[in-house]
Amino acid sequence: MEYKYFKKLGREVPALGAGTWGIGGGYWTRDTSGDEEAIAALRTGIELGVTLIDTAEMYGAGHAEELVGEAIKGFEREKLFIVTKVWQTHARREDVIKSAEASSKRLGTYIDLYLLHWPTSEVPLCETMKAMEDLVKRGLVKNIGVSNFSVELVEEARSCLSITDIAAIQNRFSLSHRVDEETVIPYAKKEGMMYMAYTPIDKGSVANNQILKKVASKYEKTPVQVALNWLIMIEPVVPIPKASKVEHMKENIGSVGWSLSKEDWDFISKSFR
Ligand SMILES: NC(=O)c1ccc[n+]([C@@H]2O[C@H](COP(=O)([O-])OP(=O)(O)OC[C@H]3O[C@@H](n4cnc5c(N)ncnc54)[C@H](OP(=O)(O)O)[C@@H]3O)[C@@H](O)[C@H]2O)c1
Q: Is residue 64 part of a domain?
A: yes
Q: Is 170 exposed, middle or buried (0-12, 13-18, 19+ CB in 10 A)?
A: buried
Rounded to the nearest 5°, which phi and psi values hold at 4?
-125, 135
Q: Is residue 251 part of a domain?
A: no
Q: Are strands 11-14 and 3-6 parallel, antiparallel or unpaired?
A: antiparallel
Q: Is residue 29 part of a domain?
A: yes
| Residue ID of nearest Cα to ligand 1 atom 27 | 243
* C-beta of 244 in contact with ligand 1 (< 6 A): yes
Percent of the chain whose pLDDT exceeds 70:
100
Taking CA 187 as the corner, what is the angle to CA 253 and CA 205, rounded to the nearest 5 degrees?
Answer: 35
CATH number (domain holding residue 177): 3.20.20.100
Q: Are strands 166-172 and 141-147 parallel, antiparallel or unpaired?
A: parallel
- Written as one string, the DSSP assignment of 74-100 is TS-GGG-EEEEEE-GGG-SHHHHHHHH
pLDDT at 273: 85
**CB of 71 within 8 A of CB of 37?**
no
Q: Is residue 252 part of a domain?
A: no
* C-beta of 146 in contact with ligand 1 (< 6 A): no
CA distance 66 to 71: 9
* C-beta of 84 in contact with ligand 1 (< 6 A): no
| Residue ID of nearest Cα to ligand 1 atom 16 | 199
| Three-state SS letters, 99-138 | HHHHHHHHHCCCEEEEEECCCCCCCCHHHHHHHHHHHHHH
**Ligand 1 pocket mutation pick from 172, 242, 247, 253 by most atoms within 8 angstroms of CB:** 242
Q: Is residue 9 part of a domain?
A: yes
Q: Is residue 186 part of a domain?
A: yes
Q: Report CA-CA distances (Å) from 116 to 9, 90, 120, 194, 215.
A: 17, 9, 9, 15, 37
| Residue ID of nearest Cα to ligand 1 atom 5 | 198
CB-CB neighbours of 25 under 10 Å: 17
pLDDT at 187: 98
| Residue ID of nearest Cα to ligand 1 atom 34 | 204
Taking CA 1 as the corner, what is the angle to CA 182 and CA 168, rounded to the nearest 5 degrees?
Answer: 40
Q: Which domain holds residue 55?
A: 3-203+236-244
* C-beta of 255 in contact with ligand 1 (< 6 A): no
Using 50 as the pLDDT threshold, list the residues of the chain that sit under it: none
Q: Is residue 36 part of a domain?
A: yes
Residue 224 CA to ligand 1 centre (angstroms)? 12
Total domain count, the chain: 1
Q: Is residue 255 part of a domain?
A: no
Rounded to two decimals, what is the model's pTM?
Answer: 0.98
